[in-house]
Structure 1
Amino acid sequence: MKIVKTIIEILCFALVIMFLYAWGYVKEQRKSQELLREINKKAEKKIMKALKKNGGMTRKEIEGELMNIKVSLFLSKNKAVIKEPKMISKQILDKMLKEGKINIDSSKMPKRYVLK
């Protein structure tokens, strides 16, 4: 009876270890996607805050706001930093336009992005 109990304990321990290993493996695989999602979220918040403060802004002004935004995941050494805001600003502004959070004011040149 004691042997059966010991075998069951060993099997339960092995199952817990397998679960933790699989969870860590999946989390490691999705790390880059998670960093990208977090940096997009932080950049969008920064754009909304800047538009609220300044009214309308051009794309160049928005790119200046996005420079050097840093993001890291909880309990992770990996970090993401925006060094080329031109690459990400177009993507985020298009997403925000599509969602209806901002509008384009093309009455003045250069065109400016404003909150709805």
Structure 2
Amino acid sequence: MTEKIEHVLIVEDEIFVAMEMRAALMDIGVKYVEICGQLRTAIDYAEKNEIDFALVDVNLGPNQTSKTVVDILRSRDVPFAFVTAYDPDQIEFRDQNDLVFRKPVSRRCLDKVFH
């Protein structure tokens, strides 16, 4: 990423994973990190707020995926990466060029993306 990333959305239903990513992002200089652990909250946030980049889990609980959130991010031209335990070809709504990070995402991996 060449532009400064200040507002990051994390869509992740596992709070420990989300908090680890948030801490890593803050350590590398991201100013604002919003965590949305539920689909409805993530949809509302993605529709209404400034977002420079998003980290999005694929599965958000029983029978809930992040597809709607991803569709909103795409429609707003917000860059994002999937954060998941799935292999990239298992993500039905992934485009070929979408970034996919395996859980757990390391600070080193995030640092490469954000600098």
TM tier, shorter chain?
Answer: under 0.3
In proportion to residue count, which structure has more helix?
1
Q: Whose strand fraction is larger, Structure 1's or Structure 2's?
A: 2
Greater RCO, 1 or 2 (C-alpha within 8 Å, sep 6+): 2
